[in-house]
């Protein structure tokens, strides 16, 4: 029977939980791939499936290795956890770098903010300017019905209620724009000329709309980064427990002291019995030596007494 130490039990239960949690993740990815035709949902199917299968395989290796003392499975598990920690560190640092800046500008007398594309990193700007990335993002904006929620607002509502970054950038013209008879007057921002009251046009082609999308990405990414930091701390703790479980899996079940005679498998190493026999032989030799010493000492005292 295997000795279930605390680290092995902890790793076993943790990986059993993540193993079960990976099943609905894979199911959600398969459902999106088969039953959902919305662009915003379908783009999530590949990441969900990849994450689900990776978590399933890692959890399976950790569970088997910790509960059944399979050293090679725990070794694979620890390598995967370390790679995952390095990946999360890299992606978190990269996310903070590309989402730096932004935040928008507060409009005087209005509860909402307006956003400018030049306030964001060049990497994010280039992605939003590339139609390969902008078309799916725009499809998500239109599909979210964000503009339909404020379609019936009055000018007073804009003075009293806040707007999301998407609504501020895509569903209305910039506040600084001036119109006469529905047409912009004088030299103004280019977005003032791109605006149209038609529900399928609005300001979807404005730079302010792209800035609103980037601001939403920035806010979402910062929330994800906080979660990433929590996950990193948890993974480092799990990795530490996994190292203890890996060490336990390589130890012997016998009770003899660990030392030069440390074993690499469940059964004792080849030199264990030789070592034990050698120790027993040394003990016998020592005992014989002490016997001889006491006998000589007794003989010496007897001779001294006879001389007197």
Residues sharing a CB contact under 8 Å with residue 109, sequence separation 6 or more, in sequence order: 159
Give the long-range contacts of residues 53-60, CB within 8 A, separation 24 or more. Answer: 53/22, 53/26, 55/18, 55/19, 55/21, 55/22, 55/25, 56/19, 56/22, 56/23, 56/26, 58/15, 58/18, 58/84, 59/15, 59/16, 59/18, 59/19, 59/22, 60/15, 60/19
Residues sharing a CB contact under 8 Å with residue 39, sequence separation 6 or more, in sequence order: 136, 139, 140, 143
Residue 198 DSSP symbol: S
Closest CA to 40 of 136, 150, 121: 136
Instruction: Report yes or no: 41 and 30 within 8 Å, Cβ to Cβ.
Output: no
pTM (two decimals): 0.67
Write out residues in the chain with pLDDT < 50, as ranges: 1-3, 36-39, 252-295, 297-308
Question: What's residue 1's pLDDT?
Answer: 40
Phi, then psi, of 120 in degrees rounded to 5:
-110, 170
- For all residues of the chain together, what is the average pLDDT? 75
Task: Collapse the DSSP code of 110 into the 3-class scheme (helix H, G, I; strand E, B; otherwise coil) and give the result.
Answer: coil
Q: How far apart are CA 161 and CA 263, in angstroms?
A: 70
Instruction: Report yes or no: 249 and 71 within 8 Å, Cβ to Cβ.
Output: yes
Distances (CA, A) of 226 to 92, 104, 213, 223: 9, 21, 20, 5
Model pLDDT for residues 84-96, shown as the tens digit of each residue? 888 878 888 888 8
Task: Collapse the DSSP code of 233 into the 3-class scheme (helix H, G, I; strand E, B; otherwise coil) and give the result.
Answer: helix
Model pLDDT for residues 159-193, shown as the tens digit of each residue? 999 999 999 999 999 999 988 887 888 878 999 99
């Amino acid at each position: 029977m295997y000795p279930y130490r605390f680290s092995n039990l902890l790793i076993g239960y943790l990986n059993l939980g993540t193993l079960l949690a990976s099943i609905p993740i894979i199911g959600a990815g398969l459902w999106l791939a088969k039953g959902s035709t919305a662009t915003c949902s379908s783009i999530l199917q590949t990441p969900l499936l990849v994450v689900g299968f990776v978590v399933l395989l890692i959890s399976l290796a950790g569970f088997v290795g910790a509960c059944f003392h399979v050293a090679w499975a725990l070794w694979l598990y620890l390598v995967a956890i370390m790679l995952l920690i390095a990946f999360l560190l890299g992606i978190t640092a990269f996310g903070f770098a590309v989402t730096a800046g932004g935040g928008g500008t507060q409009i005087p007398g209005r509860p909402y903010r307006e956003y400018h594309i030049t306030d964001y990193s060049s990497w994010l700007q280039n992605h939003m300017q590339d139609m390969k990335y902008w078309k799916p993002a725009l499809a998500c904006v239109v599909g979210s019905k964000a503009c339909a929620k404020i379609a019936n607002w009055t000018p007073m509502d804009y003075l009293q209620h806040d707007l999301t970054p998407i609504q501020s950038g895509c569903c209305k013209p910039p506040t600084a724009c001036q119109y006469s008879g529905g047409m912009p007057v004088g030299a103004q921002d280019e977005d003032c000329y791109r605006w149209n009251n038609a529900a399928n046009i609005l300001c979807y082609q404005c730079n302010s709309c792209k800035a609103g999308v980037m601001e939403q990405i920035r806010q979402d990414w910062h929330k994800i980064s906080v979660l990433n930091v929590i996950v990193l701390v948890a993974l480092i703790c799990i990795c530490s427990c996994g190292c203890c479980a890996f060490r336990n899996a390589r130890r012997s079940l016998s009770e003899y002291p660990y030392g030069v005679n440390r074993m690499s498998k469940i059964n004792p190493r080849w030199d264990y019995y030789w070592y034990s026999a050698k120790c027993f032989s040394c003990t016998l030799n020592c005992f014989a030596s002490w016997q001889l010493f006491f006998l000589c000492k007794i003989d010496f005292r007897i001779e001294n007494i006879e001389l007197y």
